[in-house]
Structure 1
Amino acid sequence: MSAQEVEVAMEELLLRVVPGLAEQWQGATPDAIARLERIAGRPLPPFYRWFLTHMGQSMGPLAYPTFDFSVQHVLDCYAQEWFEPHPRFLLIADDSKEMMPSPLFYDLDTPTRADAMVTTWEAQADEDDRYDQFETLHEMLAWSALYRFRVRKMPQTCSGTVSGDDPNLISLIEPVMRNLGFTQPISTGPYCGLYERGDAVMLCKGMPRHGFDQARSFNLGGTTPGALRKILGELATESSLKIKVAEWAPGV
């Protein structure tokens, strides 16, 4: 997808799913964005520039509990030398957790679909101990919006893992979900799957570059336990996937 297609799809998804976002998000100033780009030492990923112009000052109801994505806070972190400028990694969100904070960085050497890899590592940890979270920032934001404002609002949810021998598990999940009437609000890569239907939502996630290609975690929300079991049953019978449910909420 082109940068413009990614941005249009993301804006449609976020404004549809997140209540009140259009009235509450606030973009950063061009000067603040330019200052951050100078710290990066290279052009910012196109999607990140879109994100900053729309939510670089405030993410409104999409804001994370402990992550601060605001440009001014990121600039302050660099100004106060909490983080040193790096030719590869750019801080995009500080973490306010008291125990083992894990700020988020862009891996600018891993551009993907007009965006870049989002990675994290705990304060004081070695750079090699980082954990890649999402292949792109827009997948991270879309996953969070759908989980918080759709999955968690459903009367019944469950979570677990989907596994199989095929390294591209998403390619096995997608046709089954499509046949069940689900649509994909945005295009995703091999580590993330987002599927919506009026009465159900399923989110799949894997950690890039960590050797877990044979499994994806999933979160599924819907109207009844029976509806969710039917979806999982179709995935198990119409593909070579193995489904393991770890938790039901409420319990069944």
Structure 2
Amino acid sequence: MEELLLRIVPGLSEQWKGATPDAIAQIERIAGRPLPSFYRWFLNRMGQSMGPLAYPTLDFSAQRVLSCYAKKLVVPEQRFLLIAYESDEVMPLHLFYDFTAPAREDALVTTRAAQEGELSDDFETLREMLAWGAFSLFRVEGMPQMCSGSLKGNDPDFLSDLDLLMSSLGFTSPISTGPLCRLYERHDATMICRGTPRAGRGNRRTFNLGGRNAGTLRRILGEITTQSSLEVKVKDWAPALR
């Protein structure tokens, strides 16, 4: 994960800054359990500043997390731990770990109001959320042509079958992921896929695909359609095709 981010995010090594050991220890005491290994790595690397990876309205800093608990905006809970404060006043849905759904030395990321409310799950892990976001911003959106849509397979883990096909097309996966998320890249194209945990979507994933031109993207989508059992639906092209 660290190698991936340092490779694709310009200036990250100069701008990210980790939290102090004391701040990390305070967050762990609030959680009432050992922090997931990935979250501890994240706080050590980006607990003060995420540099170019920072989200416009989400504050992941250890200082903000501790401040929210100190001001009792959020109260300690056995199940949930605040990991990012949302400053958008229209939809102030903050990011929490849900410790009832641990995964791969990490945990499920969900959103909700500060102390109660309906849950809206985002990613199976914070690791996948950050990697997907970085890939989207610094790889897919940096390509001259993009498209987005959905993939539908015959079973919930159909992306494992897609891995083999993408490998045959020259793509590599920079990090391992769970059944709901994928990152693929090669020199002329990049693709990201995601599904929403616990949303009942089953065998459907959204995708974003970026490449040097529309012809490249069409050939990739054509190979997926003809060489697999997946159903491909393209929703948008950017720039729009004429």
Check whether TM > 0.5: yes
Amino acid of the residue matched to residue 220 of structure 1?
Answer: L
Note the C-alpha offset of 1:110: 1.7
Output the CA distance in 1 between the equivalents of 2:24 and 2:222.
48
8 Å Cα contact 2:154-2:203 kept in structure 1: yes
Tell me, yes or no, if structure 1 residue 38 matches structure 2 residue 29: yes
Aligned to 2:181: 192
Aligned to 1:201: 190
Aligned length: 241
Note the C-alpha offset of 1:172: 2.3
Note the C-alpha offset of 1:171: 1.4
Amino acid of the residue matched to residue 72 of structure 2?
Answer: E
Note the C-alpha offset of 1:50: 0.5
8 Å Cα contact 1:27-1:52 kept in structure 2: yes
Output the CA distance in 1 between the equivalents of 2:234 and 2:63.
42
Matches within 5 A, 1:56-205: 56-122=47-113, 126=117, 129-205=118-194
Q: Deviations over 1:114-138 (max 9, x none)?
A: 1111111245752xx2121111111
1:28 is aligned, of 19, 26, 31, to 19
8 Å Cα contact 1:169-1:214 kept in structure 2: yes
User: What stretches of structure 2 of length at least 5 have no aligned partner?
Assistant: none
Output the CA distance in 2 between the equivalents of 1:178 and 1:98.
44
Q: Deviations over 1:42-75 (max 9, x none)?
A: 0000110000000000000000111100000000
Note the C-alpha offset of 1:164: 2.2
Output the CA distance in 1 between the equivalents of 2:25 and 2:156.
40
Distance 1:42 1:96, change over 3 A: same
SS in structure 2 of the partner of residue 58 of structure 1: coil
SS in structure 1 of the partner of residue 141 of structure 2: helix
Note the C-alpha offset of 1:210: 1.2
2:206 is aligned, of 210, 213, 217, to 217
Identical aligned residues as a percent: 63
8 Å Cα contact 1:100-1:123 kept in structure 2: no
1:238 is aligned, of 207, 219, 227, to 227
TM-score (normalised: structure 2): 0.97
Amino acid of the residue matched to residue 223 of structure 1?
Answer: R
TM-score (normalised: structure 1): 0.93
Output the CA distance in 2 between the equivalents of 1:123 and 1:57.
21
Output the CA distance in 2 between the equivalents of 1:74 and 1:52.
11
8 Å Cα contact 1:169-1:216 kept in structure 2: no
The RMSD of aligned alpha carbons is 1.0
8 Å Cα contact 2:11-2:52 kept in structure 1: yes
Note the C-alpha offset of 1:228: 0.3
8 Å Cα contact 1:182-1:196 kept in structure 2: yes
8 Å Cα contact 2:74-2:115 kept in structure 1: no
Amino acid of the residue matched to residue 221 of structure 1?
Answer: G
Output the CA distance in 1 between the equivalents of 2:81 and 2:159.
29
